[in-house]
Amino acid sequence: MEIGVMMRFTSNDVARLAGVSQSTVSRAFKGDTSMSPKTRDKVMAAAQKLSYVPNSFARNLTTQKSDIVAIVIGDLKNSFYTESLALFSRELRGRGKHLLLFSVDAVTETDSAVREILEYQVDGIILTAADASMTTAEICINRRIPVATFNRYVPGTRVNSICCDNVGGGETITDRLIEAGARSFVVVYGEKEATTNRDRLTGFERALKRAGIPKKNTRLLRGDYSYDGAFNAVAKCFAAGHRADAVLCLNDVMAMGAIDALRYEIGLDIPGEVMVAGFDDIPEAARPAYSLTTIRQPIETMVNDTLDLLGLGERKTPSTEVVRTIPGTLIERSTVRPRR
């Protein structure tokens, strides 16, 4: 075969050069695990010689599928989201899908991103950012585009949702603080309207009520889900003379900010003078500088269940109106005292 510089080769050319069928070439590029390594290597060698790559647009015209899944993701400075994104990318690639990423900061940006996504032919949408509006979510459903929210839900819509059991996790971490002797609290939250925030606060309040601890023993501080937000809020509160037995932060990034504020700005011992707990169990939480007691979210299970609801896992048909919660795990480290 003469190989010219300006020629554009097809899968049929690769098949002829490799001595296989065109369908074998297609299977090789789709990552068919039943194919022998020898056959795959032969196909890939022929493709490399011809500088061939599959034309996904042509294939999509035939299948009416784009093999693209869009993800709208929140604060990438929070490693919970970067870890989730890495897992989604890995799992989608293993399923022969491509990832279209939108990073946003606010609800309005989420709605705008979803409207932009609708200009593409995507096979599914995953929302991990701040809550989308009910209107935007319903538009996706009416256009028969599978949608799932990850680590949150949109009340009043038919959107699929996968969440950690945030209410249960909030109860568990609060129970652990109470068992260590906490009777007064500072709670550092992100956004009051976010479902994750509301559910974790609900769990906290249930644990207090069960223990007979009045709500007046709690002070709420807004930390904006950020290290700096929590650092500044906690430093200002404690510098003004306020004291509490425990600081509960509704994510780990804020807990790290609170720890540094209490140690280096206020000069308090953790956990001797004040205990600190978080939620998520991001990788940084285990570092010796923090050694944070927290709730671990089952990210891998949540990612795979999200893809399953979109019809990209064992379930080949997208689900509708499924809200699935998965229990978190208490991770005990050194920022909370032993049980009394």
- Please indicate, yes or no, whether the overall pTM of this predicted structure exceeds 0.75: yes
Q: Could you tell me which residue, 31 or 73, shows the higher pLDDT?
A: 73
Q: 64 vs 28, 105, 281, 310, CA distance in Å?
A: 21, 32, 40, 17
Q: Any bridge partners for residue 246, and if so which?
A: 185, 275
For helices 79-94 and 252-260, angle between their N-to-C axes, nearest 10 degrees: 150
Is it the case that residue 129 has pLDDT exceeding 80? no
Domains and CATH numbers, the chain: 11-54 (1.10.260.40), 64-164+299-327 (3.40.50.2300), 166-298 (3.40.50.2300)
* Residue 155 pLDDT exceeds 80: no
Please give the structure tokens belonging to residue 148. 């799932």
User: What pLDDT is recorded for position 207?
Assistant: 98
Residues in Cβ contact with 253 at an 8 Å cutoff, skipping those fewer than 6 apart: 77, 78, 79, 80, 225, 226, 227, 230, 280, 282
The pLDDT of residue 230 is 98
Among 68-72, 186-190, 265-269, the minimum mean pLDDT is found in 68-72
What pLDDT score was predicted for residue 326?
96
C-alpha to C-alpha distance for 308 and 297, rounded to whole angstroms: 18
297-313 per-position pLDDT tens digit: 999 999 999 999 888 86
Asked if residue 72 has pLDDT above 80, the reply is: yes
* pLDDT 10s digits, 168-225: 999 999 999 999 999 999 999 998 778 899 999 999 999 999 999 999 999 999 999 9
Band of the pLDDT at 61, cuts 50, 70, 90?
A: very low
Amino acid 333: pLDDT: 98
Local confidence band at 133 (pLDDT 50, 70, 90 cut-offs)? low
118 vs 89, residue with greater confidence: 89
Q: Which residue has 């904006």 as its token pair? A: 224
Task: Return phi, psi of residue 315, to 5°.
Answer: -85, 115
pLDDT > 70: percent of the chain: 88
User: Mean pLDDT of all residues in the chain?
Assistant: 87
